[in-house]
Amino acid sequence: MRQELREICAPVLRKVLNHPFRTGLRNGTLPGAALARFVHQDTGYPLPA
């Protein structure tokens, strides 16, 4: 069952792991404006304390 789920999810996982945003974040080539926008959007949804 676990292997079957991995096989089903593999194409989506590859797309997520190879997304340009994630790749740029990992290797340091992400433009500063993109990172700033991400941080700004992310901080708009804080979890309740």
Which residue bears the tokens 């500063």?
32
pLDDT single digits (tens) 1-49: 899 999 999 999 999 999 999 999 999 999 999 999 999 888 877 766 5
Whole-model pTM?
Answer: 0.65
Domain span holding position 12: 2-42
Contact 34, 21 (CB under 8 A): yes
Residue 48, domain member (yes or no): no
Residue 12, domain member (yes or no): yes
Whole-angstrom distance, CA of residue 34 vs CA of residue 22: 11
CA dihedral 15, 16, 20, 26 (to 10 degrees): -130
pLDDT single digits (tens) 20-33: 999 999 999 999 99
Q: What is the pLDDT of residue 46?
A: 74
Count of the separate structural domains present in the chain: 1
Residue 36, domain member (yes or no): yes
> 47 — alpha (psi -120 to 50), left (phi > 0) or beta?
beta
Residue 47, domain member (yes or no): no
